[in-house]
Amino acid sequence: MHDLSVAELALGLRAKHFSSTELTRHSLARINTLDTHYNSFITVDETGALAAAAQADARLANGDTSPLLGIPLAHKDIFCTEGLRTSCGSKMLDNFIPPYDATVTRRLREAGTVLLGKTNMDEFAMGSSNETSFYGAAQNPWNTQRVPGGSSGGSAAAVAARLAPLATGTDTGGSIRQPAAFCGITGLKPTYGRVSRLGMIAYASSLDQGGPMARSAEDCALLLNVMAGFDPLDSTSSERPTEDYSAGLEKPLAGLRIGLPREFFGAGLEANTHTRIRDALALLEQQGATLVDINLPHTELSIPTYYIIAPAEASTNLSRYDGVRYGHRCEAPRDLHDLYTRSRQEGFGDEVKRRILVGTYALSAGYYDAYYRKAQQVRRLIRQDFLDAFTKVDIIAGPTTPGPAFGIGAKTSDPLAMYLEDVYTLAVNLAGLPAMSVPAGHVEGLPVGLQLIGQHFAEARLLNVAHQLQQASDWHLQAPPEANV
């Protein structure tokens, strides 16, 4: 059953080839057997999953044909789940049991999905390798000596290893797309505001966006159909109507103009990865697409811009973790200052502390105009680059990452080298655009990803292009050797 797509699983459930309870037990058994190698889950909720599967079977017996009814999935441990620990990969929230569901969690529960558990992640979504997690690094199923990417590395690893057919992730600067590329799955970062942020623990409020992770574009479309939509309780949620993201998957690509930014194909891109990306683009050309060279002149400024804006917002968002209301609290504080200081010192890891310090500095008196305000001005220029490019092309394509997954521990001592892993993804978040990573072959046995970037609210078009690529290739069907056990 773990080799079936979500659409195939849904057909099997409706045809009574197997029940949701049987499918859920199969998934839980695989997690119990295989996740000792991957560390992709922080929390597994066997009791809750089996109860939800029983409810789904009852709905199926009554003729309910909801597309995701009875399908198991995993949530990144950043989405609040009522009554189930939500840690955000941090010691600070190790004991946090939310009293409510995130909007994404609630919508998927109401759709009849079966929550298997919560997946590993970089602490407070700050990282590109899943190595900052309080619960230890997750491993890449293609090579357990390599990182799965971050911060949604646990979700990517779980889907790649066939532990769950679907998973949610969040993307602040590439945290869905980069792990999707490293693990050989499909991941979509929607337009900012397309998916509710209510109950999604905040890192950088103007950049964070939840999205679907699955093996194929078709499966991502089914998941996005439930996740997307206006939320009146989220002030950043878009009121623009959603659409059926599965409806246009078969649309031909004839006449599609694909922009190739010169800045994405420079010296920083590894040669073998460049070859794989060109191979994937050639398949799109064969289906009638036209490749157009374009420029995104402010791309090189996306890293310094992001690493001023995101830490500044993180500094504000994480100020609420003070040892008073919820989260980690130090033992026997001497006074209020000691309570604040030691609770935060003990509760936060090094990378989180680093970003809080950078962000606080950028927002401090005398430096706000020089750093934060200037970064917001550059952000506007980056956004305008994309808007100008979309007057000439329909979508933009390029590599998701400079190369395949790097070794565990290879970059932990050099934060700047780690930050450079996001060089092709950060600008998308700064501009609020939708983008996705699609499997595009392998380099020395490790997956690489093709990144597709669309105009605002063009998720359906991106999914269409990705689906057509996957109809012409089998990269998304390939699994790590151990996943076939």
Positions marked active-site: 76, 151, 175
Contact 166, 116 (CB under 8 A): no
Distance of alpha carbon 284 from alpha carbon 465, whole angstroms: 8
Alpha-carbon torsion angle 110, 113, 119, 121, nearest 10? -50
- Pair 233, 200: CB distance under 8 Å: no
Closest CA to 408 of 132, 43, 40, 78: 132
Task: Report the side by side order of strands in the sheet with 290-294.
Answer: 41-44, 114-119, 72-76, 166-170, 210-214, 186-189, 435-443, 446-453, 395-399, 257-261, 290-294
User: Tokens in use for 139?
Assistant: 């491993």
What is the spatial distance between Cα 304 and Cα 423, in angstroms, rounded to a whole number? 10
Backbone angles phi, psi at 188, to 5 degrees: -120, 125
Amino acid at 320: R
CB 69 within 8 A of CB 9: no
Say if residues 256 and 397 touch (Cβ distance below 8 Å): no
**If you search the block for the tokens 């968002």, which residue do you land on?**
317
Task: Give the pair of three-digit tokens for residue 92.
Answer: 């600070």
Provide the phi-psi class of 433: left if phi over 0, else alpha when psi is between -120 and 50, else beta.
beta
